[in-house]
Amino acid sequence: MGAAVGKGPRGYMAEINVTPFVDVMLVLLIIFMVTAPMLTQGVDVDLPKTRSVRTLPAGSDHLVLSVKKDGGIYLDEYNVPFEDLRQHLTNLVVAQHKQLYLRADKDVAYGVVVKVMGEIKSVGIEKLGIVAESSDEQKGDDKSKPKQPAQ
């Protein structure tokens, strides 16, 4: 029994009951474990790979324009018809002074990407970031290529 302060059966209890605290913490942990993967979902784009890649900045001072394999255009996770792209870029990027990043699927036709970039340029966006994935190759690890003799 814990150390009781005061007289009689209604005295103060000096111990803290941690069982409810642990129960609440476990419920919160499960909630965060379930919701965290849902927060990172966005538009599924198979990005091209390159050797030098930086991560996107954290925060809400930028928007990501995605072009999917089927030609669908998404501003963050919202579908935008090509006809309305100029208006959305003007209202959401230029007017709010946000940075724009372009994510295009590696299988999208070059003409579609150039067409989208033309719309971006036409609304006055001068700085555009291009998003890619990091390749798994390390520099100098060319074992698959035959070596050429020195001349």
CATH of the domain at 62: 3.30.420.270
Residues 31 and 70 in one domain: no
Residues 66 and 126 in one domain: yes
Residues 79 and 115 in one domain: yes
In a domain, 129, yes or no: yes
Q: For the chain, how long is the longest CA-to-CA vector?
A: 100
pLDDT of 87 > 60? The answer is yes
In a domain, 149, yes or no: no
- Give me the phi and psi of 33, to 5 degrees please: -65, -35
Cα gap 119→115, rounded to integer Å: 7
Average pLDDT over every residue of 109-122 = 89
Residues 97 and 32 in one domain: no
- What are residue 93's DSSP bridge partners? none
Residues 65 and 110 in one domain: yes
The total of structural domains in the chain comes to 2
The residue type of 71 is G
Residues 63 and 120 in one domain: yes
| Residue found by looking up tokens 């579908």 in the block | 79
Can you tell me whether residue 95 is helix, strand or coil? coil
Residues 103 and 129 in one domain: yes
Instruction: Print the domain residue range for 35.
Output: 11-39
pLDDT at position 12 is: 74
Read off the DSSP letter of residue 92: I
Residue 142 pLDDT class (50, 70, 90 cuts): very low
Residues 75 and 28 in one domain: no
Cα gap 90→87, rounded to integer Å: 5
pLDDT digits (tens, 9 = 90+) for 121-141: 998 888 888 887 777 654 444
